[in-house]
Chain A
Amino acid sequence: MTKEFLDKYPKNPARTLWIMKPVVTVLKLLFKTTVHRPVTILYPYEKLWVPDNYRGRPGLRFDRCVECGMCVRMCPTACIKLVDVDDDNGKKVKRPQINMGRCAMCGYCAEYCPVDAMTVTPEFELAEYTRRDLIYGPRRLAYDGINENMEIHIEETLISDIENGNPERRISPFKTDRPVLEASKCISCKKCEKVCPVDAVKMIEHGVNEKGRAILYPEFDDGLCICCRNCVEDCPKDALHINEVL
């Protein structure tokens, strides 16, 4: 049986010429290495070529971020947190800060960013002298030469689309999934309006209650909503849930 497997392979000339074996091998190798370029690279002086979509450290486009916190929610190692920072106009905003010591370079923050503010970058040389230096603030996360290839999009096909004979449509869940209100649980606390990062929630009056106070129910602007689930998570009475279109 063993013999059969060996016989299948092309005969190596070195196998028959047993005296010449080392000579043939060495000469072949000498010829090969003279003609071909080297396999290894001199690392600090020349670097490995990496494509644009290489998953190095995460990068951030400061202006695009809407502080929705989706990256914080999706990070498997919990290395991202939102910190207060001044933007270009001196306004206080929140932006992600990443602890590179914990980052697993999985690319989830870039993939699940609804506005494509987070990207992957081809930067892989992240060594620092202290642990403090490994923490990348929002400004330090910026990357020169960021381009569309570094964005990761979720392009999903709906099961209903395949059944309806339209399998070529791609859509991201941030465009289809929207929060739905269960009106009987709502206590008109306006928390969803406050936490919405894109102002897609408006509180609309629906009459008054027995004490004479206005009953407010949230209404969602489907065009503005990015499905970040902040309203769902912060609702004190669990009155909201995400309607997943499948």
Chain B
Amino acid sequence: MTDEKQSVCIDCGTADTGKMWVIMGPQHPFSHGLWTLKAQIDGEIVTDAEPIVGYLHRGWEKECENRTYPKIIPMADRLCYAASMTYTHLYCLTVEKALGIEVPDKAKYIRMVGDEICRIQSHLMWLAAVGTDLGNLTVFLWAMREREYFMDLNVRLCGARMTTNFPRIGGVRNDTTELFDRDILRCIDLFEKSIWDTISLIDDSSIFISRMRGTGYLTREQCANLGITGPAMRGTGVDFDVRRDDPYSNYDKVDYEVPVLKDGDSYARYLVRIEEMFQSCKIIKQCMQKIGALGKNAPYRLKTPSNVPAGRAFARIEDPRGESMMYLVADGTDKPYRLKVRSPIFTNVSASKPLVQGSRIADVPVIMAMIDMCLGETDR
């Protein structure tokens, strides 16, 4: 394709279309999932970029309109396979708001534990993906090894590894099992030690640092204009986290920090995510204490009516990738009239142009991996 600013070749004097569009994806080793990044390159420098999503569109929101409320829970699991419990939690929160019921404390804490397990699991999967993008397969293998602890915890909690189908409208499916209570603290202690192997692989290697530091700059203004949320936003110095600033469940009753860095480059996003994993461990420990204090007989699942009264409800939650929201329009029957999902990645990927502009083509996979693409929720 030609550009307006065509340069003239020094040797022959003819117009030289120096810029070229490179289509990366939908099947490309750089893209984690089915999406395309069109990058315009001038030599080795990326001058323009355009993301194309929609290859995985499967009519999720329309499908919900033909299903009764409990049947949407297994579907919400499949919005994001890496952090399935957060989306199920979000859906249940939305329906509970429409019903106007308050979930018992124990259910809230169990949901928070599930959320944080999913957050760690998702960040580890991202770390594994970054490792392969940076050309280090050891990071991939070690991060996946640590992720396996949390998969096992999911099995002990609800019997499934990835698509957990665990939160219910009005609570959670089952109480924490004895195996889970025993294993979760051990797992976290083990994780807090063994993750250092993986971190030291990246942090102690000047190659990785130089590929991450100073690439993929974002500013606070760009975050505000493009609607970027999550670790990508906190890496640019915006101190906002839905868990702390608009608390849902019982996040206001536990003590944790929100990591914020001002650098705005890929390395800041990496550090924010690493720190978030440690904060999640902190939250899980406190939640398990509170669950133990509530006792085995505390209620964890409320009975809810199968018909939701006509009205609208809106809930938002801090996903591992950003801020995800759901908007429900109920018409008084046992099926939703409309269910709208706002996925954080769908908006975050729109930042790909300011992110990759001016960087080298070889840095594009690393920069885009820092967004942590998840196509299940983007295309819905």
Query: Which chain B residue has the least Cβ–Cβ distance from A76?
Result: B71
The answer to whether A51 touches B159, judged by C-beta atoms less than 8 angstroms apart, is yes
The answer to whether A157 touches B297, judged by C-beta atoms less than 8 angstroms apart, is no
A152 in contact with B200 given A1-B261, A76-B71, A246-B303 (CB within 8 Å): no
Q: Which of B101, B159, B179 is within 8 Å of A120, CB to CB?
A: B159
Chain B interface size band reads 35 or more
A5 in contact with B259 given A39-B145, A51-B155, A108-B74 (CB within 8 Å): yes
Segment with Cβ contacts to B, from A59-67, A99-107, A138-146:
A99-107
A70 to B196: give the CA distance in the assembly, Å: 49
* Number of A-B residue pairs at CB separation under 8 A: 111
Query: Which chain A residue has the least Cβ–Cβ distance from B78?
Result: A104
A51 to B152: give the CA distance in the assembly, Å: 10
A148 at the interface (CB under 8 A from B): no
A50 in contact with B200 given A1-B261, A2-B261, A106-B74 (CB within 8 Å): no
For window 215-246 of A, CB contacts with B under 8 Å fall at 244-246
A→B interface (CB under 8 Å): 1-2, 5-6, 9-10, 12, 14-15, 21, 25, 29, 39, 50-51, 53-55, 74, 76, 104-108, 111, 120, 152, 154-159, 162, 167-168, 170-171, 173, 176, 244-246
Q: For residue A170, which residues in chain B have a CB less than 8 angstroms away from its CB? A: 299
B→A interface (CB under 8 Å): 67, 70-71, 74-75, 77, 101, 104, 145, 148, 155-156, 158-160, 163, 165, 170-171, 173-174, 177, 179, 196-197, 199-201, 203-204, 259, 261-263, 267-268, 271, 275, 297-306
Main secondary structure of the interface of A (DSSP, over half): loop
Please indicate which of the listed interface residues B145, B197, B297, B303 has the most CB atoms of chain A within 10 Å of its own CB: B303
The answer to whether B71 touches A157, judged by C-beta atoms less than 8 angstroms apart, is no
Q: Which of B67, B145, B275, B302 is within 8 Å of A76, CB to CB?
A: B67
Q: For residue A55, which residues in chain B have a CB less than 8 angstroms away from its CB? A: 158-160, 165
A173 to B163: give the CA distance in the assembly, Å: 25
Given contact pairs A2-B267, A55-B158, A152-B173, enumerate 19 new A-B contacts (beta carbons under 8 Å): A1-B261, A5-B275, A6-B203, A12-B196, A14-B200, A15-B204, A39-B148, A51-B156, A53-B159, A53-B177, A55-B160, A105-B163, A156-B171, A157-B171, A158-B302, A167-B298, A170-B299, A244-B303, A246-B305
The answer to whether B67 touches A5, judged by C-beta atoms less than 8 angstroms apart, is no
A14 in contact with B204 given A104-B163, A159-B101, A246-B303 (CB within 8 Å): yes
Q: For residue A244, which residues in chain B have a CB less than 8 angstroms away from its CB? A: 303, 305-306
The answer to whether A5 touches B160, judged by C-beta atoms less than 8 angstroms apart, is no
A53 to B161: give the CA distance in the assembly, Å: 12
Query: Which chain B residue has the least Cβ–Cβ distance from A229?
Result: B306
Q: For residue A5, which residues in chain B have a CB less than 8 angstroms away from its CB? A: 259, 261, 271, 275
Task: Determine how close the nearest CB of chain B comes to the CB of A240; give it in whole angstroms.
Answer: 15
